[in-house]
Protein backbone atom coordinates (compact mmCIF):
# COMPACT_ATOMS: atom_id res chain seq x y z
CA UNK A 1 0.00 0.00 0.00
CA UNK A 2 1.07 3.54 -0.53
CA UNK A 3 0.16 5.70 2.42
CA UNK A 4 0.12 9.48 2.90
CA UNK A 5 0.95 10.44 6.47
CA UNK A 6 0.12 13.99 7.56
CA UNK A 7 1.65 14.60 10.99
CA UNK A 8 3.58 17.58 12.34
CA UNK A 9 5.18 15.87 15.31
CA UNK A 10 8.64 14.70 14.18
CA UNK A 11 8.98 11.87 16.64
CA UNK A 12 5.56 10.40 16.07
CA UNK A 13 5.80 10.89 12.30
CA UNK A 14 9.11 9.13 12.21
CA UNK A 15 7.73 6.25 14.24
CA UNK A 16 4.70 5.77 12.02
CA UNK A 17 6.86 5.98 8.89
CA UNK A 18 9.39 3.45 10.03
CA UNK A 19 6.68 1.14 11.36
CA UNK A 20 4.77 1.24 8.08
CA UNK A 21 7.95 0.80 6.04
CA UNK A 22 8.91 -2.19 8.12
CA UNK A 23 5.48 -3.57 7.18
CA UNK A 24 6.39 -3.12 3.50
CA UNK A 25 4.27 -0.06 2.81
CA UNK A 26 5.36 2.95 0.82
CA UNK A 27 4.91 6.06 2.98
CA UNK A 28 4.89 9.74 2.07
CA UNK A 29 5.12 12.08 5.04
CA UNK A 30 3.71 15.63 4.95
CA UNK A 31 4.31 17.86 7.96
CA UNK A 32 1.97 20.72 7.21
CA UNK A 33 -1.48 21.20 5.75
CA UNK A 34 -0.02 22.91 2.69
CA UNK A 35 2.32 19.99 2.01
CA UNK A 36 -0.56 17.57 2.49
CA UNK A 37 -2.72 19.39 -0.07
CA UNK A 38 0.13 19.27 -2.60
CA UNK A 39 0.56 15.54 -2.02
CA UNK A 40 -3.17 14.93 -2.33
CA UNK A 41 -3.32 16.82 -5.61
CA UNK A 42 -0.26 15.26 -7.19
CA UNK A 43 0.11 11.67 -6.00
CA UNK A 44 -2.21 8.75 -5.60
CA UNK A 45 -2.37 6.96 -2.26
CA UNK A 46 -4.38 4.07 -0.95
CA UNK A 47 -5.06 5.70 2.39
CA UNK A 48 -4.32 8.95 4.19
CA UNK A 49 -3.46 9.22 7.89
CA UNK A 50 -4.36 12.77 8.88
CA UNK A 51 -3.55 14.67 12.07
CA UNK A 52 -5.86 17.59 12.89
CA UNK A 53 -3.57 19.88 14.87
CA UNK A 54 -1.24 21.09 12.14
CA UNK A 55 0.57 24.38 11.82
CA UNK A 56 -0.97 26.56 9.10
CA UNK A 57 -3.94 24.88 7.44
CA UNK A 58 -5.27 22.36 9.94
CA UNK A 59 -6.21 18.78 9.17
CA UNK A 60 -9.96 19.40 9.00
CA UNK A 61 -9.48 22.18 6.45
CA UNK A 62 -7.22 19.92 4.39
CA UNK A 63 -9.87 17.22 4.48
CA UNK A 64 -12.65 19.65 3.61
CA UNK A 65 -10.74 21.07 0.63
CA UNK A 66 -9.74 17.62 -0.61
CA UNK A 67 -13.29 16.25 -0.41
CA UNK A 68 -14.64 19.38 -2.09
CA UNK A 69 -12.33 18.68 -5.03
CA UNK A 70 -13.62 15.13 -5.30
CA UNK A 71 -10.77 13.36 -3.53
CA UNK A 72 -11.98 9.82 -2.87
CA UNK A 73 -9.07 8.14 -1.09
CA UNK A 74 -10.05 6.88 2.39
CA UNK A 75 -8.87 9.17 5.17
CA UNK A 76 -8.17 8.10 8.74
CA UNK A 77 -7.95 10.92 11.25
CA UNK A 78 -5.29 10.34 13.90
CA UNK A 79 -5.50 13.01 16.58
CA UNK A 80 -5.22 13.84 20.26
CA UNK A 81 -8.69 15.40 20.20
CA UNK A 82 -10.84 12.67 21.67
CA UNK A 83 -14.09 14.47 22.47
CA UNK A 84 -17.23 13.07 20.89
CA UNK A 85 -17.94 16.39 19.23
CA UNK A 86 -14.50 16.33 17.60
CA UNK A 87 -15.06 12.80 16.32
CA UNK A 88 -18.43 13.77 14.86
CA UNK A 89 -17.00 16.84 13.15
CA UNK A 90 -14.09 14.81 11.80
CA UNK A 91 -16.27 12.05 10.37
CA UNK A 92 -18.82 14.52 9.00
CA UNK A 93 -16.10 16.51 7.28
CA UNK A 94 -15.30 13.40 5.26
CA UNK A 95 -13.05 11.17 7.27
CA UNK A 96 -13.64 7.43 6.95
CA UNK A 97 -12.25 6.55 10.34
CA UNK A 98 -11.13 8.28 13.51
CA UNK A 99 -8.40 7.09 15.86
CA UNK A 100 -7.18 8.98 18.91
CA UNK A 101 -3.69 9.24 20.35
CA UNK A 102 -2.13 7.37 21.99
CA UNK A 103 -2.98 4.38 19.84
CA UNK A 104 -1.79 0.87 19.18
CA UNK A 105 0.18 0.59 15.98
CA UNK A 106 -1.43 -2.76 15.16
CA UNK A 107 -4.86 -1.16 15.38
CA UNK A 108 -3.82 1.68 13.10
CA UNK A 109 -2.64 -0.86 10.49
CA UNK A 110 -5.81 -2.95 10.83
CA UNK A 111 -8.02 0.10 10.41
CA UNK A 112 -6.08 1.15 7.30
CA UNK A 113 -6.42 -2.34 5.83
CA UNK A 114 -10.13 -2.25 6.53
CA UNK A 115 -10.44 1.10 4.74
CA UNK A 116 -8.52 -0.13 1.73
CA UNK A 117 -10.51 -3.39 1.66
CA UNK A 118 -13.74 -1.45 1.61
CA UNK A 119 -12.65 0.78 -1.27
CA UNK A 120 -11.62 -2.27 -3.24
CA UNK A 121 -15.00 -3.86 -2.62
CA UNK A 122 -13.79 -6.86 -0.62
CA UNK A 123 -15.45 -7.95 2.55
CA UNK A 124 -12.93 -10.45 3.81
CA UNK A 125 -9.42 -9.73 4.82
CA UNK A 126 -7.89 -12.31 2.49
CA UNK A 127 -7.79 -11.77 -1.25
CA UNK A 128 -8.24 -14.90 -3.34
CA UNK A 129 -7.49 -15.46 -6.99
CA UNK A 130 -7.68 -18.99 -8.36
CA UNK A 131 -5.43 -21.02 -6.08
CA UNK A 132 -3.57 -17.97 -4.77
CA UNK A 133 -4.52 -16.50 -1.36
CA UNK A 134 -3.06 -13.17 -0.25
CA UNK A 135 -3.30 -12.08 3.41
CA UNK A 136 -2.37 -8.38 3.63
CA UNK A 137 -2.38 -8.39 7.43
CA UNK A 138 0.03 -11.29 7.71
CA UNK A 139 1.95 -10.29 4.58
CA UNK A 140 1.71 -13.83 3.38
CA UNK A 141 0.85 -15.49 0.07
CA UNK A 142 -0.13 -19.10 -0.33
CA UNK A 143 -0.53 -21.31 -3.42
CA UNK A 144 -2.63 -24.36 -2.64
CA UNK A 145 -2.01 -23.67 1.08
CA UNK A 146 1.74 -23.67 0.55
CA UNK A 147 3.50 -20.42 1.57
CA UNK A 148 5.41 -18.49 -1.09
CA UNK A 149 8.37 -16.34 -0.13
CA UNK A 150 8.07 -12.82 -1.62
CA UNK A 151 10.08 -9.61 -1.19
CA UNK A 152 8.31 -6.51 0.12
CA UNK A 153 7.83 -4.95 -3.33
CA UNK A 154 6.92 -8.24 -5.00
CA UNK A 155 4.18 -8.64 -2.44
CA UNK A 156 2.86 -5.10 -2.95
CA UNK A 157 2.89 -5.55 -6.74
CA UNK A 158 1.01 -8.86 -6.57
CA UNK A 159 -1.52 -7.43 -4.09
CA UNK A 160 -2.09 -4.41 -6.31
CA UNK A 161 -2.54 -6.46 -9.53
CA UNK A 162 -4.82 -9.09 -7.99
CA UNK A 163 -6.97 -6.62 -6.05
CA UNK A 164 -7.54 -4.75 -9.31
CA UNK A 165 -7.85 -7.80 -11.53
CA UNK A 166 -9.36 -7.17 -14.94
CA UNK A 167 -7.85 -3.65 -15.05
CA UNK A 168 -4.74 -2.76 -17.00
CA UNK A 169 -2.32 -0.97 -14.62
CA UNK A 170 0.35 1.24 -16.16
CA UNK A 171 3.99 0.96 -15.25
CA UNK A 172 3.86 4.53 -13.88
CA UNK A 173 0.84 3.74 -11.70
CA UNK A 174 2.53 0.66 -10.30
CA UNK A 175 5.71 2.58 -9.62
CA UNK A 176 3.72 5.16 -7.67
CA UNK A 177 2.09 2.45 -5.60
CA UNK A 178 5.37 0.74 -4.83
CA UNK A 179 7.63 3.65 -4.09
CA UNK A 180 7.40 6.48 -1.64
CA UNK A 181 8.80 9.98 -2.30
CA UNK A 182 12.37 9.42 -1.29
CA UNK A 183 12.68 5.96 -2.79
CA UNK A 184 14.98 5.48 -5.76
CA UNK A 185 13.31 3.77 -8.69
CA UNK A 186 15.47 1.73 -11.08
CA UNK A 187 14.35 2.20 -14.67
CA UNK A 188 13.26 -1.40 -15.26
CA UNK A 189 12.27 -2.24 -11.68
CA UNK A 190 8.65 -3.11 -12.45
CA UNK A 191 9.71 -5.45 -15.29
CA UNK A 192 12.09 -7.20 -12.91
CA UNK A 193 9.42 -7.69 -10.22
CA UNK A 194 6.91 -8.94 -12.85
CA UNK A 195 9.53 -11.41 -14.01
CA UNK A 196 10.04 -12.67 -10.43
CA UNK A 197 6.32 -13.03 -9.87
CA UNK A 198 5.87 -14.99 -13.14
CA UNK A 199 8.68 -17.32 -12.05
CA UNK A 200 6.92 -18.00 -8.74
CA UNK A 201 3.28 -18.14 -9.90
CA UNK A 202 3.55 -19.24 -13.56
CA UNK A 203 3.63 -17.08 -16.68
CA UNK A 204 -0.18 -17.13 -17.14
CA UNK A 205 -0.94 -15.08 -14.06
CA UNK A 206 0.10 -11.63 -15.32
CA UNK A 207 -0.56 -10.49 -18.89
CA UNK A 208 1.51 -7.77 -20.55
CA UNK A 209 -0.47 -5.26 -22.60
CA UNK A 210 2.19 -3.80 -24.84
CA UNK A 211 2.64 -0.05 -24.53
CA UNK A 212 -0.06 0.13 -21.81
CA UNK A 213 0.88 -1.96 -18.79
CA UNK A 214 0.06 -5.16 -16.94
CA UNK A 215 -3.06 -6.94 -15.82
CA UNK A 216 -4.30 -10.03 -14.03
CA UNK A 217 -7.25 -11.27 -16.11
CA UNK A 218 -10.49 -12.12 -14.36
CA UNK A 219 -11.22 -15.82 -13.92
Partner 1 sequence: MSIRYRLMLRIIIVSILIVGGGALFAYEDVKHEARELFDAQLARSARLLLSMVQTYNETVDFPSLQTRLNENQLILDTPGQLEEGEELESGHVYETKLAFQIWGNNNDLLLRSISAPIQPITVQKNGYSYQTINGQQWRVFSLPSKDKRYLCLTAERLDVRNDLIGKISSDLFILFVVLIPVLSIIMWFALGQGLQPLQKLASQIHRRGAEKLDSVSERNAPSEISTIANAINKLLARLKEALDREKRITSDAAHELKTPLAAVRLHAELAQKATNKNDRIESINQVINGIDRTTHLVEQLLTLARLEPESLNLNFETLNLKQITIEETALLTPLAFKKNIDLSVSANDDIFVKAEDVSLRLLIRNILDNAISYTQAGGEVKLTLSSINNRICLSIEDNGPGIPPDDRKRVFERFYRGQNHETQGCGIGLSIVTRIVELYNATLEMNEPETGTGLIVTVCIPVV
Which chain residues interact with partner 1 by CB under 8 A?
8-12, 14-16, 18-19, 22, 31-32, 53, 55-56, 80-82, 100-106
Closer Cβ to partner 1, 23 or 175, answer by number:
23
Residue 48: which of 175, 33, 163 has the closest Cα?
A: 33
**Least distance to partner 1, CB of residue 76, Å:** 14
**Least distance to partner 1, CB of residue 121, Å:** 30
Instruction: Specify which residues 140 forms β-bridges with.
Output: 135
State the Cα–Cα distance between residues 77 and 89, nearest whole angstrom: 11
Three-state DSSP class for residue 80: coil
**15: DSSP letter:** H
Closer Cβ to partner 1, 151 or 188, answer by number:
151
State the Cα–Cα distance between residues 103 and 96, nearest whole angstrom: 17
**Least distance to partner 1, CB of residue 56, Å:** 6
**Least distance to partner 1, CB of residue 189, Å:** 24
Closer Cβ to partner 1, 14 or 204, answer by number:
14
Closer Cβ to partner 1, 109 or 194, answer by number:
109
Q: Does the N-terminal peptide bond of residue 142 adopt cis geometry, omega within 30 degrees of 0? A: no
Residues 6+ apart with CB under 8 A from 166: 215, 216, 217, 218
Amino acid sequence: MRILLVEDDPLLGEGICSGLRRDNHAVDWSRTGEEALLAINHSSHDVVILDIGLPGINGLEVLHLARKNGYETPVLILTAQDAHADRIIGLDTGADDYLTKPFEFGELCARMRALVRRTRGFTTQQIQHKNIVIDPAAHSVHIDDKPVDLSRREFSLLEELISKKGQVLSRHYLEEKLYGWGDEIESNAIEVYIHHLRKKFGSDLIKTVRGVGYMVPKE
